Amino acid sequence: MSLQKKIARYRKYNDERIAKSLVFNSQKSNIIFSVVPYLLHVNHPDLPGYLPEPGCPRGICDFDPAIALSSELFRRFFPTSSAPKSDDTTLPPDRCAIRSLKTIGSIGTIAQSEKSDCDYWVSIHREQLGPEGVELLRRKCAGIEEWTQKKGVETHFFLMDITQTRDNCFESTAEEESAGSALKILLKDELFRTHLLVAGKPLLWWFIPPGLGEGQYRHLVQRLVKERKINPDNFVDLGNVTGIPKAEIFGACLWQMNKALDSPFKSVIKFAYLELLLQHQSNALPLFSDKVKRLVTWPEKLADPKEKLDPAEVDPYLLLAREIVAFYQQAKTEQMHKWADLIRECLFLKTLEGVESQKQAKFGQKNHLKTTMAQMESWNILPATYQDFLNFSWQYKELIVFGTRVHEYLTETYKRLRWFFKKFGPNTGLTITERDISILGRKLFTFYERKPNKIEYIRSVSRHLMAMDDITIHITKYEGRFFYYAFCGEQDHNSVKERMEAVIKRDDNLIRLVAWLLVNGILAARTRLHLTKNFLPIDLVDIQNLAESMLNTFPIIHFSQIPPNRLLEQENTLRALAIVNFFKEPVKGGKTLTSTIMSENSYGEYFLHDYSTLTQLKNAMRVLLTRHFVSRWNNNLDFFITNQEEASNIKLMLNS
């Protein structure tokens, strides 16, 4: 197949994926594929991303703004702009700051959802721009990000040096460094197999034969350029992705597990991909981007001609899921077989994200869903229970059951991978260190370990999915003890007796119940609280104020963002909330003063400690101050006292 035919196949593949994205959500896609590249290309005072500095880097190679952004679209997004048409020109290459602009991730695949953000890989020559130019371009991108956010589209720009990317030595965050080159290669693999060319030069990699080693790839490119069979000015060369060293992949597994604690079901397929890679016998594991390249531009290199697809049918996310499901189905143990169903369900849930149901969905989303389901069914990766997923809204117990399965998969897979890596000898190039294992181990203990007075985390699918619109608190008394129930939805004194399936949790401590709901993301700022009839001195406003005080004091923890160094240090209390005399008991002249201190430590754990006297409370506050520097003066200790007659007396007692 000639180079021209390969380019035509690639353009068809790229155009079809952009078209799918447009059908799914035209407003969002117009911003991603038309408006954003236009804003990067120009620099005008009344357009987003403008910088007044002379010589502000701008421009994308081979980009024609007049074609990319029609007058109609321009007027729709910038009705008051006076940007002159003279800006709508193709800049000469030597004046363009950006060689190639690509998306990376789910855009234009079955995994795209209403919630999908857009990550742009911006290929530049840092040396050409210089440090000041790179910083200006970063500021320009930040201005565009801010504008897209206001339009309801979350975007992120990653300025990536072409030479560094080619050599797999591009920048990464500090906590990823210890995984060796594994994460960088996996990120480059994700770029190559999922990207869409938005503007600029296409990736040369598509047109160089698959299956080559790094040296072979570079030698062939040099020869083709020398023989004038390819013009390097027509492409951007980010090098090759040959494979990932088996000894380094455990580092990637660790950090993927780290991210999975925040949003487990999104991490299942990535984690499964790592396990799939490890089954290969070679020391350099072949990556899936190579398979995608064969399907798009090198169909003659496919092992089985029956695998050949029209470029319009190639969906990198779907293809990877098919490969993973087949891997688990062919496994030798029944335990592994069951994970094939979980992969199917996670994949389907990813496609449903943001599409509440076929009845409620917009036409584009509905069509996207139908097309996806047909493709999944033809490839045997549609879950048997897909109708259940289509037509229900997640109930609390369903979330917990599914979340438990996901966590079981992640922990079992982690154990298998750890056992696998124990077989590596000391001289096999294993880059993961005891420090890395300690960091992840600490996070896993934070999440799974039980401790006295600790508020336990539930095995949820995602804490963002757990938030309830309405929660009803119901109070009962049995054999002289009070019990507190949290119900899903808005209930009354009679309906709670008939809706026991809606119980979220029961506890004999109301403060602990509210804290548990908050820590697990079930109670959020948007949640409306309700209270059935009861005979206690507290009312709904008291509970609402308690919840608000807890929400203000304790932000939701993202485990993947806890600094690694903090997990290697001794545990330390970061902030606390003292809840004093919540049930409004008489305190004047009495010896008792009931109180509870809720605290959060540096490992991401929450604790509740109860006290029955003023002396106990003051001793606890003294420990917080002397050991952890937690106090009112340091602005990390708050107090909550319900509206009551004794409030002024309590404040005097605390300050005495």
Residue-wise pLDDT tens digits, 623-637: 999 999 999 999 999
120, with CB counted inside 10 A (0-12, 13-18, 19+), is buried
Tell me which amino acid residue 5 is. Answer: K
Torsion of CA 365, 371, 372, 378, to 10 degrees: 170
Closest-CA residue to 546 (of 559, 533, 527): 527
> Which stretches of 196-333 are DSSP H helices?
214-226, 249-260, 264-278, 288-296, 316-329
SS3 content of the chain, % helix, strand, coil (to 5): 50, 15, 35
pLDDT-based confidence at residue 285 (cuts at 50, 70, 90): low
Q: What is the pLDDT of residues 54-90, one digit of tens each?
A: 889 999 999 999 888 999 999 999 999 888 755 557 7
Interior angle at CA 170, CA 167 and CA 175, nearest 5 = 130
Matching residue, tokens 């008939």: 498
- Main-chain dihedrals φ then ψ at residue 176, nearest 5 degrees: -90, -15
> Which stretches of 55-115 are DSSP H helices?
65-68, 71-77
Average pLDDT value for residue range 249-276: 75
How far is C-alpha 595 from the chain's CA centre? 38
pLDDT-based confidence at residue 358 (cuts at 50, 70, 90): very low
Q: What is the pLDDT of residues 306-317, one digit of tens each?
A: 889 999 989 998
Matching residue, tokens 């009070």: 482
| Contacts made by residues 547-553, CB under 8 angstroms, sequence distance 24+ | 547/514, 547/518, 547/523, 549/577, 549/579, 549/638, 549/640, 550/514, 550/515, 550/518, 550/577, 550/598, 551/518, 551/523, 551/524, 551/525, 552/638, 553/577, 553/598, 553/638
Question: Of the spans 96-100, 332-336, 421-425, 587-591, which averages the highest pLDDT?
Answer: 96-100
Q: Return the number of other C-beta atoms located less than 10 Å from residue 18's C-beta.
A: 19
Report d(CA 38, CA 170) in Å as an integer: 26
CA distances from 316 to 24, 155, 380, 387, 388 (A): 17, 21, 16, 25, 26
Report d(CA 360, CA 363) in Å as an integer: 9
Higher pLDDT, 468 or 443: 468
Closest-CA residue to 312 (of 34, 55, 122, 109): 109
Q: Which of 270-274, 278-282, 643-647 has the lowest mean pLDDT?
A: 278-282
Higher pLDDT, 542 or 267: 542
The answer to whether the beta carbons of residues 265 and 398 sit under 8 Å apart is no
Report d(CA 293, CA 271) in Å as an integer: 22
Matching residue, tokens 């996670």: 346
Interior angle at CA 77, CA 76 and CA 80, nearest 5 = 85
- Main-chain dihedrals φ then ψ at residue 117, nearest 5 degrees: -90, 175
pLDDT-based confidence at residue 173 (cuts at 50, 70, 90): very low
Please name every residue paired with 104 in a beta bridge, in sequence order, or none if there are none: 119
Q: Which of 379-383, 476-480, 647-651 has the lowest mean pLDDT?
A: 379-383
pLDDT-based confidence at residue 493 (cuts at 50, 70, 90): confident
641 has a pLDDT exceeding 60: yes
Give the pLDDT score at 427.
Answer: 58
Give the pLDDT score at 424.
Answer: 67
Angle subtended by helix axes 3-24 and 288-296, to nearest 10: 110
Average pLDDT value for residue range 445-452: 84
Give the pLDDT score at 179.
Answer: 43
Give the pLDDT score at 174.
Answer: 35
Give the pLDDT score at 428.
Answer: 58
Residues belonging to the chain: 656
- Main-chain dihedrals φ then ψ at residue 262, nearest 5 degrees: -85, -40
